[in-house]
A and B are shown apart, each in its own frame.
Chain A
Amino acid sequence: MRRTRELIVVAAIACSAMFAASAQATEWAGNGYYLASGQNGFTNYKVNLYWSEGKGETRAVCAGIRGYGSNCVSRGYYAAYWLSFYVNGEPYLHNHDPEGGYFRGWYR
């Protein structure tokens, strides 16, 4: 009986961990993250990711994965760039706007 209970607990914790991992986006840029016009912003450390997303506060932005490409959008739009696989890489943002501004960035 104890063994059954332990198995149930392990299964519940494993399910919870999987759910948490799949649902969570990590915000790596935000809260006053400033980029000058044309400037890149990197995490400066590598993570396992397949998805990079960015949004400028009324600024055009590019979001990408360093070495794997990027995608740029106009003011007011969210930029997303993804691969089919997890890679060990760096999410990054690029200020694609003629003016400096504040940005937010996420990866999954």
Chain B
Amino acid sequence: MPGCTTHLLTKRMLAWACGLLAVAAALVAPLSNSVGAIASASAPKAPLHATYSALSATGPTGLPVVAPGSPAAATLGAKGPTFAATPASSNGPEAGSIRSLPVSTSTMSAWIATSASGGVCVLASPHQPVKPGIYGVGASCGTAATHDSGATLEFEPPSGNRVMIAGVVPDDVSAVVVTLTDGESRAIPVASDAWTLETDAHLESTHNVVGG
């Protein structure tokens, strides 16, 4: 009988621990949703029309997914950029969708990904660390409403004077006409849904050229 009592007590304790975890989860859920306008990953996604073949690419991404503060982050993060795994409530890039992009500049790497709210993201990281052993990664993520327009980001590392620009566009776009703040316009060819530019001026606007 003492064994039965012990068994019952263990069951009760386990139930108690599970109850505590459930209460904690219930408390955390509203906190996670407190980011408000950042769409939840569980929200229904609108049907998408434009296609991005680059999202189907295979091969290593060169952007390992790590948990910030973990030993892996310390090891891999000192060598190059990483992707910080984020909760599903963020509108950041979805880790499993990240694919490497070909870039025409030798000073940065770029990636494409889907966003948690049904849009597309472009990610970029300068090869030069922001501080010794620390690499920064930037992302521009749209929603389902901007999915067909692609995404563009402008990156200005604190130690550099050059502005780095990267963008992704749907498969049917052959070039992007870029207008800079110095008044210059350039047509940048698109390769595998990607285009990049390194310049002294900031980005004013872009225009997608469809077809070839």
Contact = CB atoms under 8 A, between A and B. Distances in A.
Is the A/B pair a real complex? yes
Interface of A: 1, 4-5, 8-9, 11-13, 15-16, 19-20, 22-25, 27, 30, 50-51, 53, 55, 62, 65, 67-74, 76-87, 96, 104, 106, 108
Given A68-B131, A71-B153, A23 B141 contact: no
B31 A20 contact: yes
Contact of A25 (B24, B89, B140): B89
B84 A69 contact: no
Nearest to A75: B146
A71 B20 contact: no
B27 interface: yes
B52 to A, nearest CB: 16
A69 B17 contact: no
Contacts of B43: none
A99 B134 CA distance: 34
Interface-central residue, A23, A70, A80, A106, by most chain B CB under 10 Å:
A80
Nearest to B64: A84
B177 interface: no
Identify whether the interface residues of B are mostly helix, strand, loop, or mixed.
mixed
A23 B79 CA distance: 26
Contact of A68 (B16, B21, B90, B134): B134
Interface stretch (B68-76, B96-104, B182-190): B68-76
A70 B66 CA distance: 20
Contacts of B86: 51, 108
B35 A27 contact: yes
A71 B163 CA distance: 10
Nearest to B83: A82
25 contacts: A4-B13, A5-B16, A8-B13, A8-B17, A11-B17, A12-B24, A22-B87, A23-B32, A25-B38, A25-B87, A30-B36, A50-B68, A51-B68, A65-B136, A69-B138, A70-B156, A72-B156, A76-B145, A77-B152, A80-B141, A83-B84, A84-B66, A84-B84, A85-B69, A104-B36
B34 to A, nearest CB: 7
B107 to A, nearest CB: 14
Contacts of A13: 20
Contacts of A23: 28, 31-32, 87, 89
A24 B68 CA distance: 14
